[in-house]
Structure 1
Amino acid sequence: MESNNNTILITGGGSGIGQALAHRLHDLGNHVIIAGRRLDALARAAEGRSRITAIQVDLDDATSIEAFAHRLTIDHPTLNVLINNAGIMRFEALEHRRDLADAEATVTTNLLGPIRLTNALVDHLLTQPSASIVNVTSGLAFVPLVVSPTYNASKAAIHSYTVSLREALKGRIDVIEVIPPQVKTGLTPGQEQREGVPLGDFADDVVMQLCSEPTRPEITVQYSQYARRAEADGRFDEVFAMINGG
Structure 2
Amino acid sequence: MDISGNTIFIPGSTSGIGLALALELRARGNTVIIGGRRTELLREIATQHPGLDTVQIDTTDPASIDAAAKEVLATHPDLNVLVTMSGIMRVEDWHRPESFLASAESVVTTNVLGPIRLIAAFVEHLQTRPDATIMTVSSGLAFTPLKVTPSYNASKAAIHMLSESLRLQLADTSVKVLELEPPSVQTDLLPGQADNDHAQPLAEFVSEVLNLIETQPDAREIQVERVKFLRYGEARGDYDQVVTAVNASDPHGD
TM-score by length of 2: 0.93
Residue 137 of structure 1, CA deviation:
0.7
The answer for unaligned runs of 5 or more in structure 1 is: none
Letter of the 1:3 partner, please give it.
I
Contact kept, 8 Å, 1:141 with 1:159, in 2: the verdict is yes
Instruction: Please state which structure has a larger fraction of its residues in helix.
Output: 2
Give how far 1:41 is off: 3.1
Q: Which moved more, 1:93-102 or 1:217-226?
A: 93-102
Partner residue, 1:26? 26
Q: Which AA in structure 1 matches 2:161?
A: S
Q: Which amino acid aligns with 2:109?
A: T
Shift of 1:95: 1.9
Corresponding position: 1:39 with 2:33: no
SS in 1 for 2:98: coil
Distance 1:40 1:241 in 2: 43
Question: For residue 106 of structure 1, what is the aligned residue in structure 2?
Answer: 107
1:236 and 2:235 are equivalent in the alignment: no
Secondary structure of 1:245's partner? Answer: helix
Which structure 2 residues correspond to residues 6-17 of structure 1 after superposition, within 5 A?
Answer: 6-17=6-17
1:192 aligns with 2:194: yes
Percent identity reads 46
Q: Tell me which residue corresponds to 1:205.
A: 208
* CA shift for structure 1 position 45: 3.4
Aligned equivalents of 1:37 and 1:223: distance in 2?
A: 31
- Paired residues of 1:11 and 1:83 also in contact (CA < 8 A): yes
Report what 1:137 is aligned to: 138
Corresponding residue number in structure 1 for 2:180: 178
Q: Is the CA contact (8 Å cut-off) linking 2:8 and 2:80 kept in structure 1?
A: yes
Give ranges in structure 2 of 5+ residues lacking alignment. 250-254
Q: Give the corresponding residue for 1:117.
A: 118
The alignment of Structure 1 onto Structure 2 pairs a total of residues equal to: 246
For 2:248, what is the secondary structure of its paired residue? coil
In the TM superposition, residue 38 of structure 1 has moved relative to its aligned partner by 2.1
Q: Is the 8 A contact 1:30 1:51 kept in 2?
A: no
Q: Deviations over 1:197-229 (max 9, x none)?
A: 000000001111111122210011112111110
Question: Matched residues in 2 for 1:28 and 1:193: separation?
Answer: 28
Map of 2:219 onto structure 1: 216
Q: Is the 1:145–1:244 Cα contact (8 Å) retained in structure 2?
A: yes
**Residues 228 and 12 of structure 1, relative CA distance in 2, 3 Å threshold:** same
SS in 2 for 1:169: helix
Whether the 8 Å contact between 1:87 and 1:109 is mirrored in structure 2 is yes
Q: C-alpha distance in 2, partners of 1:104/1:47?
A: 35
Contact map agreement 1:184 1:196 (CA 8 A) in 2: yes
What's the secondary structure of 1:120's corresponding residue? Answer: helix
User: Residues 46, 210 of structure 1: CA spacing in aligned structure 2 closer, same or farther, 3 A cutoff?
Assistant: farther
Q: 1:47 to 1:215 in 2, by over 3 A?
A: farther
What is the aligned-residue RMSD (CA, Å)? 1.3
Q: Hey, what's the Cα distance between the residues in 2 that align with 1:97 and 1:117?
A: 30
Q: Provide the rounded CA distance (Å) in 1 between the counterparts of 2:52 and 2:130.
A: 21
Q: Distance in 2 between matches of 1:221 and 1:173?
A: 23
Which residue does 2:248 correspond to in 1? 245
Read off the aligned partner of 2:195 and give its amino acid letter.
Q
The amino acid of 1:115's aligned partner reads I
CA distance in 2, matches of 1:110, 1:63: 17
Q: Distance in 1 between matches of 2:115 and 2:219?
A: 20
Q: Deviation at 1:75?
A: 1.5
Q: Displacement, 1:98?
A: 1.8
State the shift of 1:93 in Å. 0.3
Instruction: Spell out, residue by residue over 1:130-153, the C-alpha distance to the aligned partner (whole angstroms, 9 max, x if none).
Output: 210101110000001010000000
Residues 69, 121 of structure 1: 8 Å contact kept: yes
